[in-house]
Structure 1
Amino acid sequence: MKKLLYYISLSLLATGCDKKLDLVNPNVPTIEVYWRNANDALAGTNAIYNSLIQDGTYMRMYPALNDGRGDDFYGDSPWGDLVQIGSFIIPTTSGPVAWVWGAHYQMVWRANQVLANVPGITMDEELKKRLLGQAYFLRGLAYFNLACMYKIVPVVTTPPPSSADFYPATATEEVLWKQITDDFKAAKDRLPNTYQGISGPDAGHIGRATKGAAAGMLGKAYLYRKNWQEAANEFQPIIAGTYGTYSLMADYRDNFKEINENNAESLFEVQFGQPDQVGGTVMNYGGEPNANWKQVSSTGRTYAQDGYGYSDFLPSRWIYNEYKLEKTIDGKSDPRLLATIASYEPADNSTTVYGNAWPHAQTAIYPRKYTHDGLNWPGNDDQENSGINYRVLRFADILLMHAEALNELDRTAEAYPFIQRVRTRAKLPDLATAKPGLSKPQMRDQLAHERALEFAIESIRINDIIRWGWLYDAAKLAELKTHDNDFNTWRAGKEYLPIPQAELDVNVNLKPNPAN
């Protein structure tokens, strides 16, 4: 089974007060007639995954609004929101900002229904445990993304019992991050290492959350909160193979193309498929899905260069130059350069795009990661019909985060081997030989460089910049301004997305965040 299909809907409506007006729509079941058996539980859990493939999550806007704020990417679009987001001047009325908020809270809403109703269903207990584990994982992921993008948001953990509960208050950062770690812990306790070899309707399914994914995201949450020992404690078993065998793919670009998906490097990825693979005729931008929904990603079209897509973003010249700083052991450029960026490189046999001769100025650079350039480009029929899965968490990230945790624990020498595993895949020299005896601050800078090269254009860079405190360090901020002119218009608090104005208007208990 190549894809876990995400088309199953969960729309559970409250009944009206006037019994004379109560009509049963068999296509939209109410809570009173749902949650009765294992099929309902499975369909309800599948519906949470559906929220991952909408415009406000991984279909397009979650990657775009994250990548656009990093120093490795900047907006180059006629769509003002995509340029303003990178310049940190996005208004509170921005549509994309509201879509990200809405899609993530839809995921929370669906997860809460599963967690509230599935425990009471009489069904196979092992299947029930797995479904609850997935609901905890996906709710944790939703809140992790919300915390990174908006800083402070309401924490809702149960379906609202009445309309009086439709207006939750903003939680503190401490409450929000505790919920994130609690959810990932609960998920780790309930999820299997793999769905191969189990019995039940989810047997053999690819794309469902696993124990390794939950442990990895738990460790990442700890790392983001500077709980270094707890983070290392989560990463170490993953690296040791406790939750299954994870490893780096020999070909770096296997992590960003439509073949070799769900590979040994992937701890969790969002499943996309072109219509000829999984069907569908209606674009999955958002709203209430139906059986005709496509399951496509728009990122490949959004990032594709002039003549092949919208070219809404461009890589910064800084990240391009960063790849050129160090030659491989055989005297070539870092292979991640041409997997990430499309550039004219005769010395590296790169003078074509999408199978055609280089059509741009020889100094022009464009995104290649998550596009179909160099692959079996389907043409997309001028639509956003990419089937490339979005990789949420890779083993390379586990290795470098573990190295970071060790460095912060004053175990700097122990960090070298984990960094080198990532460097070796890129054919870079032994760091312990090239830069022996790095101090703790020097290793921080080295890890920042390593992470920039490994994770450029992967929705990660802005989160690293924020959590490292670079925007509030005068020297680092000055450095960021040399990387990307967008940082010249940054102002304190504007590194986050603003709470959507429409949400503030209807919810008196919702507080503005620093970006409002």
Structure 2
Amino acid sequence: MNKIKYSLLLLLVMMGCNDRLDLTNPNSQTTGTFWQTESQAIAGCDAIYNSMIIDGSYMRMTPALSDARGDDMSGDSPWVDYVQVSNFTIPTTSAPVQWVWGAWYQLIWRANQVLENVPGITMDEDLKKRILGQAYFLRGLAYFNLANTYKVVPIITSTPKSSTDYYPASATEEEIWAQIFSDFQNAKDRLPVSYGNVSGADMGQIGRATKGAATGMLGKAYLYRKQWQNAADQFNLLINGPELNIYSLVSNYRDNFTASNENNSESLFEVQFAGPNEVGGSVPNWGGDPSSSWKQVSGQACTYAADGYGWSDFLPTTWIYNEYKQEKTKDGKTDPRLLATIASYEPDDNSTTVYGNPWPYATNKIYPRKYTNDGLGVANEYDLNSGINYRVLRYADILLMYAEALNELGQTAAAYPYIQQVRDRVNLPDLVASKPNLAQVQMRDQIAHERALEFASEGQRINDIIRWGWLYDADKLAMLKTHDPDFNTWTAGNEYLPIPQTELDVNKNLLPNPAN
């Protein structure tokens, strides 16, 4: 199967302010000469995906700055920004905070160009529909990440037509989430279930957004805004619907976080990274102007890898480590997600090595393993050649979100089987037998526990903590402080990253957010 190879095309918006300066460079494409053909429409679409493999987005900073704020991970870096993000004291002048903002607005800018220009191109109409669906999906995903990271941001749905368009105003939360719902719905209406049977240049390509991905993200967006019935309706289509019930859990949990079983049956959407032997390149794809010499690698493995094998910028918390030990499997073993997520010294579970070498640390030291190449025949991560795809949405998430929606709708008993599917994968006991007849509030806590174990160090925990309101519940906040001492320095509003100071300085219509 073909993976989509992300185009390194840089799409430029040319805004001349003096006719005498409007010179044409025959070696450069402009919007006036570019959007003419079907192949250019495809290249424009591929360029949107390219924004997801730079440092500010999924290449490194979006996962890192999300994980850092959860109670499952903590900053352990000489780079002070990581530590300050982790303890909620990051200043508005932080470079990584700016990179995240810039990456997602770059993606939005590229998506807007596709949505404006592709409808006018004479080309295969079904292919055009798919291209527009992908642009809507990726723009919706960008706004989903921006809303969860910064809370309130400007909504930009068109390219600038005059200098006044360079200074968009901040939107309200309600307006931002309405845009997210709209983009994912528009994507869902246009995207295919798969690309296996389409006719066109994208036929058989793996990694492009699908109808299932749009349905799942639409449901997730509804869930985040507590629209429980709307969320449940979308998840039900993926679990029980006649068209989209094509997903299933893979048997080996760790297959979701290595390069050996990518784009598997559990994956609704993942970002396609590749080692240099797959696509070539000699320069890491940190960002800036795309170049043919770029690699298409992930920086997450090196960022998370243990001391001596990578930068070790983050550590799992002792709390999440102990949480995996709370319940034994049916055959009396440790939850297998522990060693898929955390590198720890576990002689009882035949785990006494790191990157294939004898354990060199104190026996109580723990490091991240998820999304690293630990145990996969890689000597270390310093060469920045990790090709591990980043899984944005997994079927396990659909199951647990459906259970959560059902519980919030008062159908607590109906939530059990969807939770149990996730537990069965790792051979945990039947929840109906071990914890029968949970009340709604008790089930909320159980789902929070299940999500912590299933999605540790996947950038989800801080979003869950925020949307559940735990930081503004005295008892829950006290609990978080026992999980992770970083929460001792949290102050109201700083669960979000601040709007970058450089943006506030140049845009008089941009408002500070609660973290500024």
Please report the TM-score for the alignment, with normalisation by the length of structure 2. Answer: 0.98
- Measured in 2, the distance between the counterparts of 1:166 and 1:27 equals 27
- Measured in 1, the distance between the counterparts of 2:33 and 2:358 equals 60
Structure 1 residues 350 and 127, CA gap change in structure 2 (3 angstroms) = same
Q: 2:418 matched to which residue of 1?
A: 418
- Measured in 2, the distance between the counterparts of 1:473 and 1:25 equals 59
- Measured in 2, the distance between the counterparts of 1:446 and 1:325 equals 13
CA contact (8 A) 2:57 2:100 kept: yes
Q: How does 1:332-351 map to 2 (within 5 A)?
A: 332-351=333-352
Q: Does 1:191 align with 2:191?
A: yes
Structure 1 letter corresponding to 2:463: N
Structure 1 residues 378 and 48, CA gap change in structure 2 (3 angstroms) = farther
Per the alignment, in what secondary structure is the counterpart of residue 314 of structure 1?
Answer: strand
Deviation of 1:9 after TM superposition, in Å, equals: 1.3
Structure 1 residues 429 and 26, CA gap change in structure 2 (3 angstroms) = farther
- Measured in 2, the distance between the counterparts of 1:56 and 1:475 equals 34
Structure 2 letter corresponding to 1:290: S
Deviation of 1:384 after TM superposition, in Å, equals: 1.9
Structure 1 residues 244 and 23, CA gap change in structure 2 (3 angstroms) = farther
Deviation of 1:318 after TM superposition, in Å, equals: 0.1
Q: How does 1:495-506 map to 2 (within 5 A)?
A: 495-506=495-506
- Measured in 1, the distance between the counterparts of 2:17 and 2:420 equals 64
Per the alignment, in what secondary structure is the counterpart of residue 57 of structure 1?
Answer: helix
Deviation of 1:19 after TM superposition, in Å, equals: 4.6
Q: 1:54 matched to which residue of 2?
A: 54
- Measured in 2, the distance between the counterparts of 1:486 and 1:371 equals 24
Provide structure 2 residue ranges, at least 5 long, that are not aligned to the other structure.
none
Per the alignment, in what secondary structure is the counterpart of residue 387 of structure 1?
Answer: coil
Q: Deviations over 1:92-144 (max 9, x none)?
A: 00000000000000000000000011111111000000000000000000000
Q: Does 1:391 align with 2:391?
A: yes
CA contact (8 A) 1:10 1:43 kept: no
- Measured in 2, the distance between the counterparts of 1:27 and 1:267 equals 39
Structure 1 letter corresponding to 2:112: N
- Measured in 2, the distance between the counterparts of 1:457 and 1:27 equals 44
Structure 1 letter corresponding to 2:278: Q
Deviation of 1:378 after TM superposition, in Å, equals: 5.5
- Measured in 2, the distance between the counterparts of 1:27 and 1:234 equals 47
CA contact (8 A) 1:11 1:28 kept: no
Give the paired residue count: 515
CA contact (8 A) 1:7 1:290 kept: no
Structure 1 letter corresponding to 2:281: G
Q: Does 1:327 align with 2:315?
A: no
CA contact (8 A) 2:255 2:262 kept: yes
CA contact (8 A) 2:212 2:238 kept: yes
Structure 1 residues 493 and 206, CA gap change in structure 2 (3 angstroms) = same
Q: 1:254 matched to which residue of 2?
A: 255
Q: Does 1:228 align with 2:231?
A: no
Structure 1 residues 505 and 127, CA gap change in structure 2 (3 angstroms) = same
Deviation of 1:385 after TM superposition, in Å, equals: 1.7
- Measured in 2, the distance between the counterparts of 1:221 and 1:163 equals 33
- Measured in 2, the distance between the counterparts of 1:16 and 1:490 equals 46
- Measured in 2, the distance between the counterparts of 1:412 and 1:435 equals 12
Q: Deviations over 1:224-244 (max 9, x none)?
A: 000000000000010125225
Deviation of 1:3 after TM superposition, in Å, equals: 2.9
Q: Deviations over 1:67-111 (max 9, x none)?
A: 000000000000000000010000000000000000000000000
- Measured in 2, the distance between the counterparts of 1:25 and 1:252 equals 52
Q: Does 1:439 align with 2:439?
A: yes
Deviation of 1:24 after TM superposition, in Å, equals: 2.9
- Measured in 2, the distance between the counterparts of 1:292 and 1:21 equals 31
Q: 2:146 matched to which residue of 1?
A: 146
Structure 1 residues 324 and 26, CA gap change in structure 2 (3 angstroms) = farther
Structure 1 residues 446 and 510, CA gap change in structure 2 (3 angstroms) = same
Q: 1:511 matched to which residue of 2?
A: 511
- Measured in 1, the distance between the counterparts of 2:195 and 2:403 equals 30
Q: How does 1:45-124 map to 2 (within 5 A)?
A: 45-124=45-124
- Measured in 1, the distance between the counterparts of 2:447 and 2:139 equals 30
Deviation of 1:508 after TM superposition, in Å, equals: 0.1
- Measured in 1, the distance between the counterparts of 2:6 and 2:467 equals 32
Per the alignment, in what secondary structure is the counterpart of residue 263 of structure 1?
Answer: coil
Structure 1 residues 166 and 128, CA gap change in structure 2 (3 angstroms) = same
CA contact (8 A) 1:63 1:458 kept: yes
Deviation of 1:27 after TM superposition, in Å, equals: 4.3
Deviation of 1:59 after TM superposition, in Å, equals: 0.2
Q: 1:454 matched to which residue of 2?
A: 454
Deviation of 1:198 after TM superposition, in Å, equals: 1.1
Please report the TM-score for the alignment, with normalisation by the length of structure 1. Answer: 0.98
Structure 1 letter corresponding to 2:54: Q
- Measured in 1, the distance between the counterparts of 2:49 and 2:377 equals 27
Per the alignment, in what secondary structure is the counterpart of residue 282 of structure 1?
Answer: coil
CA contact (8 A) 1:136 1:184 kept: yes
Q: Deviations over 1:399-443 (max 9, x none)?
A: 000000000000000000000000000100000000000000000
Q: How does 1:94-493 map to 2 (within 5 A)?
A: 94-240=94-240, 242-377=243-378, 379-380=380-381, 382-493=382-493
Structure 2 letter corresponding to 1:317: T
Structure 1 letter corresponding to 2:276: P
- Measured in 2, the distance between the counterparts of 1:162 and 1:394 equals 41
Q: Deviations over 1:147-205 (max 9, x none)?
A: 00000000010111111210000000000000000000000000000000111000011
Deviation of 1:474 after TM superposition, in Å, equals: 0.1
- Measured in 2, the distance between the counterparts of 1:13 and 1:225 equals 34
Q: Deviations over 1:371-393 (max 9, x none)?
A: 0001121644x332210000000
Per the alignment, in what secondary structure is the counterpart of residue 58 of structure 1?
Answer: helix
Structure 2 letter corresponding to 1:124: D
CA contact (8 A) 2:309 2:379 kept: no
Deviation of 1:10 after TM superposition, in Å, equals: 3.0
Provide structure 1 residue ranges, at least 5 long, that are not aligned to the other structure.
none
Per the alignment, in what secondary structure is the counterpart of residue 56 of structure 1?
Answer: helix
Structure 2 letter corresponding to 1:97: V
Per the alignment, in what secondary structure is the counterpart of residue 99 of structure 1?
Answer: helix
Deviation of 1:7 after TM superposition, in Å, equals: 3.1
CA contact (8 A) 1:3 1:272 kept: no
RMSD, matched Cα: 1.0
- Measured in 2, the distance between the counterparts of 1:391 and 1:264 equals 12
- Measured in 1, the distance between the counterparts of 2:43 and 2:336 equals 42
- Measured in 1, the distance between the counterparts of 2:169 and 2:316 equals 39
Structure 2 letter corresponding to 1:208: R
- Measured in 1, the distance between the counterparts of 2:245 and 2:237 equals 10
Structure 1 letter corresponding to 2:156: V
CA contact (8 A) 1:193 1:244 kept: no
